[in-house]
Amino acid sequence: MYLSYRSIGSALALGNGVAIKPTEDTLVTVRLPIARIYEEAGLPPGLPNVIIGDVKEIAET
């Protein structure tokens, strides 16, 4: 999994929301801690969003 934490950090520091969609190959044990890290850091709900699911299902909604 490759995430550019610099770009995520910059966006969050400026008050922008971020949607993170890890690849489907990324293990769930790696995906979920990403959300928990931002939650424990005290960021408001909705600023960092970790999207987990099938790309086709997400696109249909």
For the segment 9-45, what is each residue's pLDDT rounded down to a tens digit? Answer: 788 888 888 888 777 777 766 667 877 888 888 888 7
pLDDT of residue 1: 45
**59, pLDDT greater than 80:** no
pLDDT of residue 25: 76
pLDDT of residue 3: 55
Give the residue numbers spanning the domain of 38: 5-60
- Which of 43, 13, 29, 40 minimizes the C-alpha distance to 52? 29
pLDDT of residue 36: 81
pTM check: above 0.75: no
What is the total count of domains within the chain?
1
